[in-house]
Amino acid sequence: MKKRTPAPRLRVLHLHSSFDPGGKEMRAVQLMNAFGPDLAHAIVSAVPEALGAARAIDPAIPVDYPEFPALTGKPFPRRLQGLAQAMVGYDLVLTYNWGAMDAVLAHTAFAEVLKLPPLIHHEDGFNQDEAARLKWHRNLFRRIALFRAQGLVVPSQRLEHIARTAWKQPAAMVRRIPNGIPVFAYGRKPRPDALPRVIKHPGELWLGTLAGLRAVKNLPRLVRAFAPLPEQWQLVILGEGPEREAIRAEAVRLGVGHRVHLPGHVAHPAEVMGLFDLFALSSDSEQFPISVVEAMATGLAVAAPRVGDVEAMVAAENRRFLAPSGDEAALAAVLAALAGDADQRAAVGRANRARAEAEYDEAKMIAAYRNVYAGALGRTSFP
């Protein structure tokens, strides 16, 4: 009998402005691992040294990091042509956020001439420069750039609305897929020393958050809202990023440096978030923050501003503990209310856990992404 030749792996190109750990990057890794070794991935980070999320990719997954034209620069025809030519030879192109939008425009401009593979764009939110108001010229740029994309994936209701209105994308183009996690991996009680460089001592209560340490997350605001809490409360901020020193400086200024801890990035949040007694968010802008889903799955109450889809995400019992966006005093008040009432924290946490189990398990998310990517390729399955 003639031996069957295995089908060649599909080659997927991922274009990121950064591939350091963050919500969209870790979701991309989550999907790569779920799709398995039948796909080969090429990952481009516009910042070459920003590849920290790669550590979470299953070693069995074929991945390379090719040389690629710069993702940022003036959108002159010759530069766009160079970006488009670098996409030749792949089966599917996946682009992420504003930082990859020049590549999306290059694909639209040269897709027919170069017979480029289908492209799916993902939008997960905005940096500090668009936290308060979208820039009209970026809206226009997106309208033009997305003309030949096969789909636009967003995680939140707000982004879906923006895509349909500000970016003028047709309904058939936009697909909202809420972020999902392996809910049943969360909720276990870790050892007190499960985190590097910080140990939970008897009698301590931990207010925790999980975020890239970027300006849009406004973590100095969280330090200020936390500072009045009783001495047994500790603030533990999991994540890495350029705002580390600003966060530390604010804690020292307020005299709570000894109670604010920044252990760094944690590859597997499910293994440590059970150390938290309460979860908080302080961002200027969010869409569908995966960290809130992780907190809910852990069985935690959430204190947060009403940004993005947060109010729609949490259980009904949690909604009165959300503050108006940008209102630091209100955030401090809801933190104090939850910190002072253990029974209330537990009841809200149970309700959040039940909602996470019902709505946000990763199996639904992975199936939805499979359908979108398969549809772009004209296939019935993916990979």
Is residue 34, in this structure, part of any structural domain at all? yes
Residue 102 to residue 84: CA distance in whole angstroms: 10
Residue 281 to residue 128: CA distance in whole angstroms: 16
pLDDT single digits (tens) 64-113: 999 999 999 999 999 999 999 999 999 999 999 999 999 999 999 999 99
pLDDT single digits (tens) 171-218: 999 999 999 999 999 999 999 999 988 999 999 999 999 998 999 999
- Asked if 176 and 157 touch (Cβ cutoff 8 Å), the reply is yes
Sheet strands side by side (includes 322-323): 260-264, 233-238, 205-210, 278-280, 302-305, 322-323
Whether 4 has a pLDDT exceeding 60, the answer reads: no
Average pLDDT of span 226-255:
97
One domain for residues 166 and 192: no
Q: What is the CATH number of the domain that holds 216?
A: 3.40.50.2000
Identify the pLDDT of residue 2.
47
One domain for residues 198 and 341: yes
Hey, what amino acid is at 195? L
Identify the pLDDT of residue 6.
53
Is residue 3, in this structure, part of any structural domain at all? no
One domain for residues 219 and 328: yes
Identify the pLDDT of residue 73.
94
One domain for residues 309 and 367: no
Is residue 266, in this structure, part of any structural domain at all? yes
One domain for residues 163 and 270: no
Q: Give me Rg for the CA atoms of the chain.
A: 21
Specify the range with the lowest mean pLDDT, choosing from 1-5, 333-337, 352-356.
1-5
Average pLDDT of span 158-164:
94
Average pLDDT of span 256-272:
94
Band (pLDDT 50/70/90 cuts) for residue 7 is: low
One domain for residues 148 and 106: yes
One domain for residues 163 and 191: no
Is residue 122, in this structure, part of any structural domain at all? yes
The alpha carbon dihedral of 287, 292, 296, 302 has a sign of: negative
What percentage of the chain has pLDDT greater than the value 70?
97
Q: Where are the beta strands (DSSP E) in the chain?
A: 10-16, 39-45, 63-64, 92-96, 119-122, 151-154, 174-176, 205-210, 233-238, 260-264, 278-280, 302-305, 322-323
Is residue 283, in this structure, part of any structural domain at all? yes
Number of domains in the chain: 2
Among candidate residues 49, 45, 14, 46, the one with its CA nearest the CA of residue 32: 14
One domain for residues 277 and 191: yes
Q: What are phi and psi of 298, to 5 degrees?
A: -75, -15
Q: What is the mean pLDDT of the chain?
A: 94
One domain for residues 38 and 148: yes
Q: In angstroms, what CA-CA distances link 251 with 53, 179, 237, 373?
A: 28, 32, 12, 45
Helix, strand or coil, per DSSP, at residue 12:
strand
Average pLDDT of span 137-154:
96
Across the chain, how many H-helices and E-strands are there? 12, 13
One domain for residues 145 and 231: no
Residue 121 to residue 376: CA distance in whole angstroms: 11
One domain for residues 226 and 282: yes
Residue 296 to residue 241: CA distance in whole angstroms: 24
Identify the pLDDT of residue 129.
74
Token pair, residue 56, equals 């979470």
Average pLDDT of span 219-237:
98
**Crossing angle for the helix pair 23-35 and 362-377, to the nearest 10 degrees:** 80
Identify the pLDDT of residue 304.
98
Identify the pLDDT of residue 217.
95
What residue numbers bound the domain in which 297 lies? 183-359
pLDDT single digits (tens) 42-65: 999 999 889 999 999 999 999 999
Sheet strands side by side (includes 92-96): 63-64, 39-45, 10-16, 92-96, 119-122, 151-154, 174-176
Is residue 19, in this structure, part of any structural domain at all? yes
Average pLDDT of span 331-360:
97
Within 241-361, residue ranges assigned H as helices are: 244-253, 290-298, 310-313, 328-339, 342-359
Band (pLDDT 50/70/90 cuts) for residue 1 is: very low
Q: What are phi and psi of 28, to 5 degrees?
A: -60, -45
Whether the ω angle into residue 190 lies within 30 degrees of 0, i.e. cis, is no
This prediction has a pTM of: 0.79
Is residue 5, in this structure, part of any structural domain at all? no
Is residue 4, in this structure, part of any structural domain at all? no
One domain for residues 167 and 18: yes
